[in-house]
Amino acid sequence: MGSLVGEAFDHWINHQGRFWGVAGPSIVAFAALSIIEILSIPHFYAMGWDVPHSLFWSGTRILLITLILYQWFKYALYDDWNQRRSTLLGKDLFPWHAFISGGFIAFLVAQSIFLRIIFLLWGEFLSGRLPSAEEPNRGATVRWLFDVPIDLIGQIALALFFGGFLLFLPSRAAGLSWGPWRAFREASGIRSRLIATAAFLSFVSIAGERILSFLEAFVPPRQGALLDQAWISPVVSIRGLLICFIELLTLYVLAHTVSRLFVMKTGWIPEPYPQPWTSDSAARD
């Protein structure tokens, strides 16, 4: 697993143009979505639509992550993906499968639901142990529970639960009609490496965010500065941009690593694809 992750980082270093071609617009899109989401909160809450508001923006974020991850799986599986995509775009019907996959969306939605269930159960657990008015001294005994890193625990649990199914993602990007259970069975022999990769990258993502939050505490506040405005600081601050970059980098490494394991396990190779300038008669010849 370590060698595959190292190979993925080397691949990232040598393909900066490919990475930033997707990551650059993605960072702008995440920033714009965050601004719009924050500005829309008062209007949704005034109408009592706080839950639909949260679900809508969570779904929008999942859709954007799906678009990003799908492209990077395509790049990892097809060296000539740019040419293939250009050829697909030249056809009469818009090729949705070149940009998004229903299986991808379902997989990431299931992960999001799983994580929300963990947070919900933890919240119910904490609320059931809060001290009542008759038990003021009980607060000290449960205060430490609020310091439990439930976000890290939740992400690791997510990796452990879904890691064994990760071959489902490259199979969809390769155009195979695998279901989740087929992907789980095909992962026999490499399942532990898939789970370890997912858990490691989840740890890197959360740890990076924690480190940035820790370093931010040493930055003196700038009263009255534009960056201190509550609605814009999470978007334009260096911390927000770095967190977004770390998340995108982990997605890139995940796509490359899982694709390599998929090819190693199945021996899959992409079918030859006609170049955009190749005529039908030449292709038949």
Tokens of 102: 């229903």
Find the range with the poorest average confidence among 78-82, 134-138, 195-199, 269-273.
Answer: 134-138
Tell me the residue range of the domain where 14 lies. Answer: 2-129+147-273
pLDDT in tens, 95-116: 777 888 888 999 999 998 898 8
DSSP 93: S
Task: Decide if pLDDT at 181 tops 50.
Answer: yes
- Consecutive H or E run containing 27: helix 16-46
Q: Is residue 284 part of a domain?
A: no
Q: Is residue 101 part of a domain?
A: yes
Q: Is residue 137 part of a domain?
A: no
pLDDT value for 19: 92
Q: How confident is the model at residue 5 (pLDDT cuts 50, 70, 90)?
A: confident
Q: Is residue 32 part of a domain?
A: yes
Number of structural domains in the chain: 1
Q: Is residue 285 part of a domain?
A: no
Please name which of 68, 102, 98 lies closest in space to residue 81, comparing C-alpha atoms.
98
Residue type, 69: L
pLDDT in tens, 38-78: 777 776 666 665 556 677 788 888 999 999 999 999 999 99
Q: How confident is the model at residue 197 (pLDDT cuts 50, 70, 90)?
A: very high
